[in-house]
């Protein structure tokens, strides 16, 4: 298995079911990763950077020779769509579990794939069918097609090397960034340009084909909820398609697969506009990240089907055998900060980690465990959380419960954002497009806005928890021997600061329930106060709730009355002047530094470029100023909050 993380674990599970022995490859930082422990054998293929390990073909070929592997499953990403890798395997007589090199080449090149799609009578997007040579030619072509245009890497995928341009200036900048990102992600900097369809849906069709000319479509997946061209929430089927459109899309996808003599599982991606016109976007000649939702509604194991096809068997099913049973939804749980442009990568160690597998209809595909490290070298995905129900409403309710019961501590994660998306009225009604996040949160995601009642409940729960924790710390073994037991307290006065507003609370206790008085209103909080658990089931005024406990929160401060009066005397920390210093918003590697001390920069001018988890981010000046000092150099690794450049 030439991959890591959750997809390597996913393939190993099916192999175990089929009685096939597996070999894991890993970089030296992944030596104790879950996929390495699950496999029958493991082989180290180099140091942490992907170019030296998971993309190191020589090392992987050596692992195949030494272990005598008969087939290779490439997962997704890394070498999964690399025709050179498939060719080298074929030369060594090793089966590549995927399509043959011809299909990978034809579909992996976005320019060639568009021409083949046109010839196979598949609807395509208007655009320029050749390779763009330089930025000036890009501007000329963009003018001919008409703005907005999408500049993208010909060999690309996963949102890497893609930029949208609305004018000539953005086209030049987009050309430069896309070609750099494309070169570092795929080793190929060719770009193409096409018309950008505003407000589309991103709907893809799963296809499955064998080496005997049979091909099926396994329904669609709705993948419109995205940030930076990467999917966040997916579902199958789509609320938008009717049976006629679904069949038309499925049949076009199959005719494209047959046109390139495709064998194995693949995905044909379409953009669908508001009038249900659909346009071919690209074909991914591999297993997709979001394949579990298709498995849920069809009952097929796609990895098993891929292995069977690679061995040369015919497909076991006919098109009419493929059902749509129920509804499945997948949330991609990432180690990233959703409050920073919908998710900038976060790194750290999972100090506590519990998947919500105790709930019915929940599937979690993950490749980590408690104690695992999320590093800057690889994708920040923690897991794929999938829920399945007989109706969409049931699947959504299960997703809500699953997200509430998911315990992740030690890294910042995007569960607050996922939780808000799936209860948003627009999402529930199915009124979505790829612009959903920027439209719903134009100012960026700020978290769940608390209603007055919710705020009271939160304050009451926090106060009761504070008192319960205090009481626990006063109890110790052998306490009974102390003769003069002081009378146990029944009443407390607390001061709680929430989002810069101060509330005085009175708390009284009887048994396991606490009555909290807030602004003249009483709230009763009761439950089994098991403070060792990360999730506390409580009842507030008789309504059951689930409380997720974290030690630190930014915007809630809880003090006794005395501590609060002393806190007023503490000097306030003066906020840093962020316009004159530039700090790294995330951990990563500095790719380029564009300024030196003494330079004058204009507002919005690029100062440096930071790459994290294979994405390049341009850091710009917040004001027009002179550069005082530069604290980073190209190639250096920086942490979140590290000082990069000072302006004066």
> Which residues make beta-bridge pairs with 497?
502, 557
Pull the structure tokens for residue 221: 């997946």
2 in Cβ contact with 25 (< 8 Å) = yes
Q: What share of the chain is helix, strand, coil (3-state, %, to 5)?
A: 30, 30, 40
The three-state secondary structure class of 584 is coil
Pull the structure tokens for residue 201: 């849906």
Considering only CA atoms, which of 294, 298, 291 is closest in space to residue 320?
A: 298
Considering only CA atoms, which of 365, 366, 364, 362 is closest in space to residue 399?
A: 362
- Count of CB atoms situated within 10 Å of the CB of 570: 7
According to DSSP, the β-strands at 230-236 and 215-227 are antiparallel
Phi then psi for 389, rounded to 5 degrees?
-145, 175
Pull the structure tokens for residue 422: 């799936």
Integer Cα distance of 257 and 624 in angstroms: 53
- Residue 616 exposed, middle or buried by CB count within 10 Å (0-12, 13-18, 19+): buried
Q: Which residue has the tokens 């030369």?
A: 91
Q: Taking the chain, what is the end-to-end CA distance rounded to the nearest angstrom? A: 53
* Cβ within 8 Å of residue 136, ≥6 positions away: 172
Considering only CA atoms, which of 386, 440, 387, 389 is closest in space to residue 417?
A: 440
Integer Cα distance of 161 and 228 in angstroms: 11
Catalytic residue among 88, 163, 190, 286: 286
Integer Cα distance of 391 and 401 in angstroms: 16
Q: Which residue has the tokens 């299909």?
A: 103
Q: Is the dihedral of CA 106, 111, 113, 115 positive or negative?
A: negative
The three-state secondary structure class of 173 is helix
Integer Cα distance of 522 and 542 in angstroms: 13
63 in Cβ contact with 23 (< 8 Å) = yes
The three-state secondary structure class of 120 is coil
How would DSSP label each residue in 380-426? Answer: -EEEEEEEEESSHHHHHHHHHHHHHT-EEESS--SHHHHHHHHH-HH
Query: Is residue 221 flagged as an active site residue?
Result: no
Separation of CA 310 from chain center: 30
Tell me 555's DSSP state: S
Q: Is the dihedral of CA 261, 265, 270, 275 positive or negative?
A: positive
The three-state secondary structure class of 290 is coil
Integer Cα distance of 285 and 112 in angstroms: 14
How would DSSP label each residue in 256-305? Answer: HHHHTT--EEEEEEEEE-TTS-EEEEEEE-S--TTHHHHHHHH---HHHH
Phi then psi for 154, rounded to 5 degrees?
-65, -35
Which residues are catalytic, by number?
286
């Amino acid at each position: 298995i030439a991959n890591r993380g959750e997809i390597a674990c996913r393939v190993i599970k099916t192999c175990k079911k089929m009685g096939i022995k597996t070999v894991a490859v890993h970089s030296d930082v992944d030596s104790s990763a879950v996929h390495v422990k699950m496999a029958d054998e493991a082989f180290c293929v180099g140091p942490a950077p992907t170019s030296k390990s998971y993309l190191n073909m020589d090392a992987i070929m050596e692992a195949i020779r030494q272990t005598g592997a008969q087939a290779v499953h490439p997962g997704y990403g890394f070498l999964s769509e690399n025709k050179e890798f498939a060719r080298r395997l074929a030369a060594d007589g090793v089966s590549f579990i995927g399509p043959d090199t011809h299909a990978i080449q034809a579909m992996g090149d976005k320019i060639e794939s568009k021409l083949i799609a046109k010839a196979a009578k598949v609807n395509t997007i208007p655009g320029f069918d050749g390779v763009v040579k330089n930025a000036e030619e890009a501007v000329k072509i963009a003018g001919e097609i008409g703005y907005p245009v999408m500049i993208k890497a010909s060999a690309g995928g996963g949102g890497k090397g893609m930029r949208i341009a609305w004018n000539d200036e953005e086209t030049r900048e987009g050309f430069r960034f896309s070609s750099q990102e494309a070169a570092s992600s795929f080793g190929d900097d060719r770009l193409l340009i096409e018309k950008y369809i505003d407000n589309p849906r991103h709907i893809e069709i799963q296809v499955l084909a064998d080496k005997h000319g049979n091909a099926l479509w396994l329904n669609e997946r709705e993948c419109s909820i995205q940030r930076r061209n990467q999917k966040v929430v997916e579902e199958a089927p789509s609320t938008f398609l009717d049976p006629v459109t679904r069949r038309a899309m499925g049949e076009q996808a199959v005719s494209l697969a047959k046109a390139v003599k495709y064998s194995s599982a693949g995905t044909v991606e379409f953009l669908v506009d508001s009038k249900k016109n659909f346009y071919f976007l690209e074909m991914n000649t591999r297993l997709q990240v979001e394949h579990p939702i298709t498995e849920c509604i069809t009952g097929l194991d796609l990895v098993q089907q891929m292995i069977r096809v690679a061995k040369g068997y015919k497909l076991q099913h006919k098109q009419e055998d493929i059902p749509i049973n129920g509804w499945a939804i997948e949330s991609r749980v990432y180690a990233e900060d959703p409050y920073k442009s919908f998710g900038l990568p976060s790194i750290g160690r999972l100090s506590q980690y519990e998947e919500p597998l105790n709930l019915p209809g929940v599937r979690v595909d993950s490749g980590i465990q408690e104690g695992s490290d999320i590093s800057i070298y690889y994708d920040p995905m923690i897991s794929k959380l999938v829920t399945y129900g007989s109706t969409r409403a049931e699947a959504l309710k299960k997703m809500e419960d699953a997200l509430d019961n998911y315990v992740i501590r030690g890294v910042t994660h995007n569960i607050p954002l996922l939780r808000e998306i799936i209860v948003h009225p627009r999402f529930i009604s199915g009124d979505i497009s790829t612009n959903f996040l920027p439209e719903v949160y134009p100012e960026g995601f700020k978290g769940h806005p608390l209603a007055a009642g919710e705020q009271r409940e939160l304050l009451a729960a926090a106060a009761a928890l504070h008192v319960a924790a205090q009481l626990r710390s006063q109890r110790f073994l052998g306490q009974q021997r102390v003769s003069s037991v002081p009378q146990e307290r029944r009443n407390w006065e607390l001061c709680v600061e929430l989002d810069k507003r101060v509330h005085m609370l009175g708390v009284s206790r009887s048994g396991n329930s606490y009555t909290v008085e807030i602004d003249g209103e009483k709230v009763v909080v009761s439950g089994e106060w098991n403070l060792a658990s990360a999730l506390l089931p409580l009842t507030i005024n008789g309504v059951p709730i689930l409380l997720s406990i974290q030690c630190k929160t930014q915007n809630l401060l809880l003090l006794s009355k005395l501590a609060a009066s002393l806190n007023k005397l503490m000097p306030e920390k003066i906020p840093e002047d962020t316009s004159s210093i530039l700090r790294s918003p995330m951990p990563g590697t500095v790719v380029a530094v564009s300024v030196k001390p003494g330079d004058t920069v204009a507002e919005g001018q690029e100062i440096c470029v930071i790459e994290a988890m294979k994405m390049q981010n341009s850091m710009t000046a917040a004001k027009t100023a002179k550069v005082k000092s530069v604290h980073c150099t190209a190639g250096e690794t920086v942490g979140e909050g590290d000082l990069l450049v000072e302006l004066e």
